[in-house]
Structure 1
Amino acid sequence: MPAMGGLGKLQGFCAVACEWGYSWAWSDTCCIDKHSSAEVQETIGSMFAWYRQSALTIVYLSDVPNMGSIGNSEWFRRGWTLQELLAPQTSLYKNLTSANHKKDATVLAELARATGIEPRFLNDFSPGKDNARSRLQWASSRLTTRPEDIAYSLFGIFNVHLPVLYGESAENALGRLLTEIISQSGDVSPSPFHSCFPAHITSYQRLSMPPPHPNAEERSSAISGGLRSSEVLSLGDVPGSPTVRSIQLRTPDSNVLGEVHDIHSPDRVPLARFFGYLLALPCIPYQVTAIQVKASTLSYRYNIHASGLTPLEIALPTRLEYVTGSQGVLYLVRPWHSKLLGPFVKLYAVTDEQLVSALWTPFNALLLTQLPHNEYLRIASSTLITAHPLDRASVLNSEIRVFNIV
């Protein structure tokens, strides 16, 4: 298949398919009616499955003369080709080798070097929300002609089904994708030092350096706005153990609690949305009432008590006080999504038994600290926090609040 124009390229593609014994071939260049919004929506939602179920995927890198220069190809810088790389069971890089790259160690090694994707994912990739940060990093240096496509091209990789809304911004498209991921599976922040996640895919290209520890004045001002100083819960040192002590906490000002919804009426809860630098995320909140910390040589262990949850323990490499200051308001929250209740529950008529069955279960919690202006900062984002509701009553008496997370 020498370098050629569109028609010649298509003819060459069909010729290769015939050489391999196939009577039918599909090319995304000419087999999608881009003037039909319904067909575009269906295609974007189905394309990963089509590549996965194909008998053979043929890739022609016209700008690569040999295997050693594969990383220079434009093909590896296009957004839509990521799923073409990962989804197929059998692939042929026609101008480089006659072998299936899934079985050729040399090709796998070169592809890994060119893309930064581990050979195990190149060889056997499963769509889903595991390793979310890594999957976003794979796409972080890729480009698409239409800005929104940088998010749409990842729908199949994350196995999500969302509307395709050309005309929305790339920020909104990526925000809808990320809120879907975080509401169902947890963390997609680009590094442990980001609170939640950014508005642009390029933020995942590299890890950020941790910010400098704030001084005492900065820590105090960061948490004092919107809080009443008369509501400090002073928890003294634990007697008999100089290495165990408690962190002071405050109760929140009821005037800055934000948008609250009855958990018995989940049909009225808005969808998570991403705007500017904020994520508006509906959550079931559990206010942290007490924290005890015990320092060790390698980490700090925190015993956390929260209203409505069984006590839990987490280990962190640094002290929580560096983020929260000496006093603050903390919440453990469960990101809310209507899918938590299952596919057959009528949201406008949910029963107590349905709520208890779905929500009296362990979940991955986010730890939030309150900032001024009714905003929240996510902390300890690199640590998996598994929480469990205390009892049936704690489920039925809970509420759903919208947190604006920076």
Structure 2
Amino acid sequence: MRDARQKLQWASKRVTTVQEDTAYSLFGIFDVHLPVIYGERKQSALGRLLQDIVSRSGDITSLDWVGQSSEFNTSKLYNMLENMNTPLFANCRLRLPCIAFHVTEVKRRPAHAAHSIYEVKADGLQDLLITTDKTLIQFSRARPTRQTFFLVRPWDRRLLGLPDFSEQLTFAEEGESVGLSSSNLPGEEELSVDSDVHSRSLRLMVHLGQAFSALLVAQQRVGEYKRVALDHNIIAQMKHPASIDIMNIRTLDIL
């Protein structure tokens, strides 16, 4: 596992007939034993490889081995999330910035209790079981429903290593001039700033891979969603780093 980041750079220039072989051809180099699943796409194959490398080496810098155009570019993801708005409650609606995972299957388990247990699948997340006294529409990829469901992760700016908006607002006194001192001229600390953002981006990747409390919401009309009441908290987790490629970063109006 030594020099994992340098070895992974080879994949960025490698051309293979089958896209998954970009990752599979590196299995031997890292002495990993993972299943070969042709048809899973390059992003998924690389994601499984990255997950194994990080778990065995503990080196998160291997997540930043690619160039600007890659789906695994952590700085681009960091910037998108940094520009998210804060939650706002007005007119009986909650405008919630979040990461949304599209639900692709809901299947009810046979049960004799008053509450129902459903098996839920969503793009990018591990499969979940949820319990509710609400009746959910059963559907699958083969038989989709007209209604849209999302499992959402409410966004928290603290995951970026930054304070909340309320903690970083500063105001100049009336008549006070605001300018640059000699210690913070443009370009003076460029390298240290870039290094700091780079470090935060890598820590963000680690945070996103951890389990989180999710909300199940159902679309009511365009842009408006309603939370589905459940008996227990939903604890969700991403499948692997490749799930970042399908994350839907948005703001939902929840009724």
> Given the two structures, how large is their TM-score scaled by the length of structure 2?
0.50
When Rg is computed on C-alpha atoms for both structures, the one with the higher figure is 1
Higher relative contact order (CA 8 A, sep 6+): 2
